[in-house]
Every structure is written in C-alpha cells, then in structure tokens.
Structure 1
Amino acid sequence: MNIGIYVYPNADLLDFVGLFEVFSTASRLAERKDAINVFLVSETPGPLLAGGG
C-alpha cells in the first residue's frame, strides 16, 4: 500500500508529522516489511518552509 501525505508551504508540523509517524509505525509493525510505503508529496520539488519557520 502506498500512502502519500500532501505537504504545502507554511504547513504546521502537526498537519503531516503525526500522520507520517502513525503510518511509519504501522509499516514497521507489519508482517511484510514492504506492506506500507509512506512518503511526502508536494506541488514543487525540494525543501518547504514549515509554519514555524
């Protein structure tokens, strides 16, 4: 399963870090280590500046 988490400029960290952590933990606990692929998605490539700077 592929899970893409959309991130955008000035997003609060809690908008995506919590989701990333939940699905990453589920991936680590899954019987098949490749069962869940978690990644971030944005409109533009490269680093984004979060809401907290």
Structure 2
Amino acid sequence: MSKAIFKILAKVNKALLPSYTKQQLDLAKAKKWQLAIIGWRYYVTKNALD
C-alpha cells in the first residue's frame, strides 16, 4: 500500500479510535480487542512514517 493511504488511515484512526495512552491503560490488563486496536494503530502509524 502507498504511504498516502496510510497517512489517511492514520487521520481516520486518530478521529475514530480511542487513545489508550491518554487513558493510561495498563497493557497487562488490556482486553484482546484493546490490544488489537493498539496493534492496528501501531501498524498504520509505522507505515505512515516510513
């Protein structure tokens, strides 16, 4: 996928998905779906910055 698509996805993620850093979520206590959201946001952010 192109970098432009990931930049658009990153903006959508920021607008729609919750920020667990601001909520100070403990990763050890996070549920599976919360970890999936964290992983997705990481993947999109990593590819948008490369």
Q: Same fold (TM over 0.5)?
A: no
Larger helix percent = 2
Q: The TM-score by the shorter chain falls in which range?
A: 0.3 to 0.5
Which structure carries more relative contact order (alpha carbon 8 Å, separation 6+)?
A: 2
What TM-score, normalized to structure 2? 0.38
What TM-score, normalized to structure 1? 0.37
